[in-house]
Amino acid sequence: MKDQLENLASQLKTAIAAADSLAALTAFETEKMGRKSEFNALMKGLGALPADERAAMGALANTLKTEVQAAFDAKKNELDAASAGAIGETERIDVSVPGTRRDEGHLHLTSQAIMEITEIFRRVGFSRVRHPEVDWDHYAFETLNMPKEHPARDEWETFFVDAPVSETMGKMVLTPHTSSGQVREMEKGKLPIRMINIGKCYRRQIDVSHVPMFHQFEGLLIDKDVKVTHLKGVLDYFAREFFGPDRVTRLRPFHFRFTEPSFEVDISCGICGGSGKLDDGNKCRLCKEGWLELGGAGMVHPNVLKAGGIDPEENGGFAFGWGVERTMAMKSGVKLDDIRVLYKSDFRFLQQF
């Protein structure tokens, strides 16, 4: 028994010393030092020895087991140190090398346009204001001189909110236009007014030039002795600043309930150059005939001034409201023939801007 224990312990120490990797040492531990190992089998045989030999062999077995375990621990520490040193060489970081710059995003094209529009009007004295994007029928329609039967107040045109109806303000709506801020601005009681209101609007429309949620900018100027020529001058100024000197605008007589006289503001199409046709001879998808409607404009209706607490005999004004996305689509160089692309989250498109 003594010879068997000493020979086995010697073999284990030799095998431990020969291990060249942590993986090999771990495999050795499982096979040669585990519960089912040959060494443990010999230990279990001690019980069959005579009593006078059992104690001596037990002490020897424990001594040899301690020596084997010490040899194993020493070898493991040696291999651990070698492995750590190798990692230090293969995975070390050279802090003097410039880091990899993370990708940076940028403002959405619509946000860029809003900032540019705000700055253009700021230079001629228009202050940016904000008004609710969920508003009452009172401000969205009633104070804007729209009768109860007006088509815009139909649920097929406007998104009505499922909320309690107010006796004085009517139903609550997702505002269909920034014009709902006109009377709110007048109710502040500060004249003259020269505001630009930019916000989200909601309508039940979707095609190449409409989306259900879009942005609109509303200009309102109220002062004494305001004329159509002042309106035309502001619109021409904006067209030159935003679209460039090669683009042409026009005013068409129109009818809006909240302005009188009223106009539609058009600009020559930036996709087809105002011809209505593309280079391949096909009709322009966006404008169809060379002009794109940007939005409405006109002199503020006396009834709207009265609703805002302003005497139309003392003060007058003009207003205009254009869609930000549609205006941006007509900017030279953008060549966007379907504004729905703006909100498809397609990086291939958005990263161009």
Residue type (1 letter), 188: K
Work out how many domains the chain is built from and give that number. Answer: 2
Q: How many residues does the chain have?
A: 353
Nearest to 202 by CA among 170, 158, 162, 161: 158
Q: How many CA atoms lie within 13 A of 76 on its CB side?
A: 12
Are residue 346 and residue 253 in the same domain, yes or no? yes
The DSSP element (H or E) to which 52 belongs, if any, is: helix 51-90
For the stretch 153-184, pLDDT in tens is 776 678 899 999 999 999 999 999 999 999 99
Higher pLDDT, 97 or 311: 311
User: Is the confidence at residue 54, as pLDDT, over 90?
Assistant: no
How much is the pLDDT for 143? 93
The whole-number pLDDT of residue 8 equals: 67
Distance CA 238, CA 182 (A): 20
pLDDT of amino acid 190: 92
Domain assignment of residue 48, given as a range? 2-86
Residue 269 and residue 128 share a domain: yes
pLDDT of residue 328: 84
Same domain membership, residue 245 and residue 140: yes
| CATH number, domain with residue 331 | 3.30.930.10
Among candidate residues 33, 53, 86, the one where a domain is terminated: 86
251 plus 130 within the same structural domain? yes
**pLDDT value at position 118?**
96
- Residues of the chain with pLDDT > 70: what percent? 85
Q: What are phi and psi of 339, to 5 degrees?
A: -70, -10
* Highest-confidence segment of 8-17, 327-336, 344-353: 344-353
What SS3 state is found at 311? coil
308 to 128, 143, 311, 315, 321: CA distances (angstroms): 19, 8, 9, 12, 18
Taking the C-alpha atoms of residue 320 and residue 305, their distance in angstroms, rounded to an integer, is: 15
Between 221-235, 246-260, 266-280, the lowest mean confidence (pLDDT) is in 266-280
Judge whether residue 146 has pLDDT over 80: yes
Per residue in 203-248, pLDDT (tens digit) is: 887 877 788 899 999 999 999 999 999 999 999 899 889 988 877 7
User: Do 148 and 15 have their domain in common?
Assistant: no
pLDDT of residue 104: 79
Mean pLDDT computed over every residue of the chain? 83
The residue-averaged pLDDT of 44-53 equals 64
CA distance linking residue 338 with residue 207, whole number of Å: 8
Domain boundary among 86, 101, 128: 86
Question: Are 280 and 338 found together in one domain?
Answer: yes
State percent of the chain over pLDDT 90: 37
For residues 323 and 295, the answer to whether their CB atoms sit within 8 Å is yes
Q: Please write the tens of the pLDDT for every residue from 57-95.
A: 667 667 777 777 788 788 788 877 777 766 666 666 777
Residue at 6 is within a domain: yes
Token output for 69? 């375990």
Between residues 49 and 138, the one the model is more confident about: 138
